[in-house]
Amino acid sequence: MTRRELVDLAPAKINLCLYLGPTRPDGRHELVSIMQSITLCDRLRLRPGEPGADGDEVRCPGVDGPNICAAALAAFRAATGWDGPPLVLEIEKHVPVAAGMGGGSGDAAATLRLIARLAGIDDVELELELAAGLGADVPGQVRPGRVLATGAGERIVRLPDPDPFGILVLPSAARLSTADVYRQADRMDLGRDAAGLRGLDPIGRPDYVNDLEPAARALEPTIDEALACARRLGADVVMVSGSGPTVIGLFASPAAAADAAAAARERDPAPVAAAPFVGPVGHN
C-alpha cells in the first residue's frame, strides 16, 4: 500500500419527512422518511499510521468520547478480513454534533467508503450491510443523495435528484440525544400504527411532516424561537431537522436561502445556507 492520503466529503442530511411507526422487537422504531443530503459537509482524510502504530486512530478535534467512525473501521476489517496496516482518520467537522443532521452517521458512511477504496473492495451491498449495523441513519448516507428510508432506516431506495432549492440551517447551541428524543416521542405517544405507516406514499411529494418535532420541542424549548425566526425570514417550509434541535427552512432557490442566512448573520451559532448535494463523493 502506498502512503497516499484519501479524502472524502460527508454531507449532512435533512429529513424532508419523517413518519414514526411502532417499536420493533429489536427496540428500534419503524419509520418512513425521505432523506436528502445537503452541501453542508464534513471533510475526512484517511492515511496510513506511523510505523509502529498498534491500531487505527480517529482524530476529530472538538468532539469527545467514542467515535462511530472507529466502529466503522473495525466492522470493515472484521467483515472482509482486510489486514492493511493501522490507519489514521482525521475528521474536519462542519456539520453540527447531536443536531438531527446525521453528522456522525455521515462520517461513518464516508469512513466505509474510504476504507473500501483503500482496500480495493468495490461492494456497495457490503457497505450497506455494515452501515445498518452502525446506526439507523448510516445506510441512507452510504451513497449521498435523496433516498426513501424504511424499516428502521436500513432499507434504502434511491430517488432522483430534486430540482434545485435552498436550505437555511439554523444550528442550536444545545444538543439532543437521538435516543432521548425517541423516548420522549414514546411518552407523548407520537408514533403511528403499522397500518398507518404502510399507507404512506411520500415519494411523489413529501408532506414535510416530522413526527419527532413535538418531542424535540418538549426537550429543548429554544427550538420554538428558531422556528419563528425561519418563518420571519420567509422560508416556504419550516421544520425541525430529524431529532433536532437544528431547525431548517426551505426556500425556492439557493440564492433565497443565502439571503436569509445573511439577514440572520447576528445569530449565534451562525446560520448556514445550503442546497441539495448532487454528484458523487470520493476524491483524492
For the chain, percent of residues with pLDDT exceeding 70: 96
Q: For residues 201-216, give the mean pLDDT.
A: 90
Rounded Cα gap, residues 175 and 28, in angstroms = 21
Are residue 132 and residue 175 in the same domain, yes or no?
no
State residue 116's pLDDT score.
97
Rounded Cα gap, residues 220 and 178, in angstroms = 13
Q: Is residue 80 part of a domain?
A: yes
Pick the catalytic residue: 13, 42, 56, 211? 13
State residue 62's pLDDT score.
85
Q: Which helix (H) or strand (E) is 239 found in, with range?
A: strand 237-240
Asked if pLDDT for residue 63 goes beyond 90, the answer is no
Q: Is residue 284 part of a domain?
A: no
Number of domains the chain contains: 2
Residues 83, 125: contact at Cβ < 8 Å? no
Asked if pLDDT for residue 280 goes beyond 80, the answer is no
Q: Is residue 201 part of a domain?
A: no
Question: At 226, which CATH number?
Answer: 3.30.70.890
Q: Is 279 helix (H, G, I), strand (E, B) or coil?
A: coil
Are residue 217 and residue 268 in the same domain, yes or no?
yes
Q: Which helix (H) or strand (E) is 257 found in, with range?
A: helix 254-263
Asked if pLDDT for residue 3 goes beyond 80, the answer is no
Closest CA to 1 of 87, 108, 112, 76: 87
Domain that holds residue 170: 166-195+212-274
Asked if pLDDT for residue 22 goes beyond 90, the answer is yes
Are residue 56 and residue 90 in the same domain, yes or no?
yes
Asked if pLDDT for residue 180 goes beyond 80, the answer is yes
Q: Is residue 206 part of a domain?
A: no
Q: Is residue 102 part of a domain?
A: yes
Are residue 91 and residue 13 in the same domain, yes or no?
yes
Q: Is residue 205 part of a domain?
A: no
Are residue 147 and residue 174 in the same domain, yes or no?
no
The three cell numbers of residue 6 are 484519501
Q: 75-125, pLDDT tens digit by residue?
A: 999 999 999 999 999 999 999 988 999 999 999 999 999 999 999 999 999
Pair type for strands 57-59 and 247-251: unpaired
Are residue 174 and residue 95 in the same domain, yes or no?
no
Under the banding of pLDDT at 50, 70 and 90, the label for residue 27 is confident
- Residue 129 burial (CB count, 10 A): 15
State residue 2's pLDDT score.
47
Are residue 106 and residue 237 in the same domain, yes or no?
no
The three cell numbers of residue 14 are 435533512
Asked if pLDDT for residue 1 goes beyond 50, the answer is no
Omega prior to 139 cis, within 30 of 0:
no
Pick the catalytic residue: 8, 56, 107, 137? 137
Q: Is residue 200 part of a domain?
A: no
Rounded Cα gap, residues 162 and 37, in angstroms = 11
Q: Is residue 202 part of a domain?
A: no
Omega prior to 160 cis, within 30 of 0:
no
Under the banding of pLDDT at 50, 70 and 90, the label for residue 4 is confident
Q: For residues 170-193, give the mean pLDDT.
A: 96
Under the banding of pLDDT at 50, 70 and 90, the label for residue 199 is confident
Mention every residue, 6+ apart, whose C-beta is less than 8 A from residue 172: 96, 99, 220, 222, 223, 226, 244, 245, 246, 247, 269
Are residue 18 and residue 147 in the same domain, yes or no?
yes
pTM assigned to the model = 0.93
Q: For residues 153-166, give the mean pLDDT.
A: 94
Residue 17, amino acid: C
Question: At 117, which CATH number?
Answer: 3.30.230.10
Under the banding of pLDDT at 50, 70 and 90, the label for residue 268 is very high
137 belongs to the catalytic site? yes
93 belongs to the catalytic site? no
Are residue 143 and residue 250 in the same domain, yes or no?
no
Are residue 171 and residue 107 in the same domain, yes or no?
no
Q: How confident is the prediction for the chain on average, in pLDDT? A: 94
Nearest-Å Rg of the Cα atoms of the chain is 19
Rounded Cα gap, residues 242 and 34, in angstroms = 11
Q: What share of the chain is helix, strand, coil (3-state, %, to 5)?
A: 30, 25, 45
Are residue 134 and residue 54 in the same domain, yes or no?
yes
Residues 89, 69: contact at Cβ < 8 Å? yes
Are residue 95 and residue 175 in the same domain, yes or no?
no
Angle between helices 103-119 and 124-134 (to 10 degrees): 140
Q: 221-248, pLDDT tens digit by residue?
A: 999 999 999 999 999 999 999 999 999 9
State residue 145's pLDDT score.
96
Rounded Cα gap, residues 36 and 73, in angstroms = 25
